Amino acid sequence: MKNRIVFKIVLTAMFFALGLVLPFLTGQIPEIGSMLLPMHLPVFLCALICGWQYAGMIGVALPLIRSLLFTMPPMFPTAVAMAFELCAYGIITGIVYALFKHKSILTVYIALLSGMIGGRTVWGVVQFLLLSSSGKEFTFAAFLAGAFVNALPGIIVQLILIPVIMLALDKAKLVPFNSHN
């Protein structure tokens, strides 16, 4: 049992490091980063592999630490809103995935989609509150654009890449599914 906890902590640290490094692949072009969502991938994988507690922690820490270290994303309102969003991704995805007794590619998709919808909703509410408190406007059109339209390439990458990684981990018997759907 203790070894399992240490293993999850080590994996969580690896996912955290990936979350710090992956955004460099976008070439520090914010428009590409906001389309491909590189910090989201490690949070989702952590939720599925380590659980909601670990993913929630790195979800909230990643954008804030990355903003402090590299000034990207900008702290206010972007990194603050992302901290809530990524935390919600981790918690919701991890809890939904854990609810299923039989793990399969179908449960990965259900957990991912639940996390994506919940996290984007949290992001929208936090973004609205942050911008309203600073006298700026955040319309429903801005929410739809930021949460779905502009993020569509990243959402597609997540919906393809994460299940493929989980299948590869299952095939390697590192994160085995107990039901193949």
- 175 DSSP 8-state letter: S
User: Cβ of 105: how many Cβ atoms within 10 Å?
Assistant: 16
Instruction: Kindly state the tokens that stand for 91.
Output: 């918690």
Could you give the residue ranges of the DSSP H alpha helices within 22-172?
Answer: 30-36, 40-49, 52-70, 80-99, 105-133, 140-144, 152-171
For 68, the token pair is 């402090």
CATH no. of 2-171: 1.10.1760.20
Nearest to 128 by CA among 168, 61, 81: 81
**pLDDT of 181:** 44
Q: Which bin fits 54, alpha (ψ -120 to 50), beta or left (φ > 0)?
A: alpha
Dist. CA 152–CA 57, nearest whole Å: 25
Q: Determine the pLDDT at residue 31.
A: 67
Question: pTM of this prediction?
Answer: 0.92
Q: What is residue 150's predicted lDDT score, i.e. its pLDDT?
A: 83
Domains of the chain, residue spans: 2-171
CA 30 to each of CA 36, 38, 42, 134, 174: distance values in angstroms, whole numbers, following the listed order: 10, 11, 19, 22, 34
Query: What are the backbone angles phi and psi of residue 21, rounded to the nearest 5°?
Result: -90, -40
pLDDT tens digits in sequence order for the chain, 181 residues long: 678 899 999 999 999 999 999 998 876 666 666 678 899 999 999 999 999 999 999 999 999 999 999 998 999 999 999 999 999 999 999 999 999 999 999 999 999 999 999 999 999 999 999 998 988 888 888 888 888 888 888 899 999 999 999 999 999 988 888 754 4
